[in-house]
Amino acid sequence: MTSFLQSFQFFTAGAAISLFPAILPSHWLPFILLGRAERWSQKKTLGVLMMAGGGHVLITSTLGFGVAAFGKALSNTTRTLPAGLASVILIIWGGVYTIRNKSHHHPEGLEEVALRIKARRNRLAALSLFLMLTLSPCEAIIPVFFAASHMGWGQLVVLVSGMALATLGGMVLLAYGFNKGLEKMRWEWLEHHENKVIGLVLILLGLLVLWQPEFH
CB atoms within 10 A of CB 112: 9
CA distance 2 to 112: 64
Average pLDDT of span 169-174: 95
With H, G, I as helix, E, B as strand and everything else as coil, classify residue 1: coil
- Give me the pLDDT at residue 136, please: 85
DSSP 8-state assignment for residue 193? S
Helices and strands in the chain: count of H runs, count of E runs: 10, 0
Domain boundaries, the chain: 2-215
Q: For the CA atoms of 5, 158, 177, 131, what is the dihedral angle to 10 degrees? A: 150
For the cut 60, the answer to whether the pLDDT of residue 35 exceeds it is yes
For the cut 80, the answer to whether the pLDDT of residue 36 exceeds it is yes
CB 44 within 8 A of CB 31: no
For the cut 80, the answer to whether the pLDDT of residue 1 exceeds it is no
Q: For the CA atoms of 90, 96, 98, 104, what is the dihedral angle to 10 degrees? A: -130
DSSP 8-state assignment for residue 66? H
For the cut 90, the answer to whether the pLDDT of residue 70 exceeds it is no
- Give me the pLDDT at residue 151, please: 76
Report residue 2's pLDDT band, with 50, 70 and 90 as the boundaries.
Answer: low
Greatest mean pLDDT among 6-10, 20-24, 86-90, 166-170 lies in 166-170
CA distance 18 to 205: 20
- Give me the pLDDT at residue 106, please: 46
- Give me the pLDDT at residue 112, please: 60
CB 71 within 8 A of CB 151: no
Contacts for 36-40 with beta carbons within 8 Å, 24 or more apart?
A: 36/179, 36/182, 36/194, 36/198, 37/97, 37/100, 37/194, 37/195, 37/198, 38/118, 38/121, 38/122, 38/125, 40/122
Residues 136-170 have pLDDT tens digits of 888 888 888 887 777 777 888 999 999 999 999 99
pTM: 0.78
- Give me the pLDDT at residue 80, please: 45
What percentage of residues in the chain have a pLDDT greater than 70?
A: 78
CA distance 27 to 178: 13
For the cut 70, the answer to whether the pLDDT of residue 109 exceeds it is no
Average pLDDT of span 43-71: 90
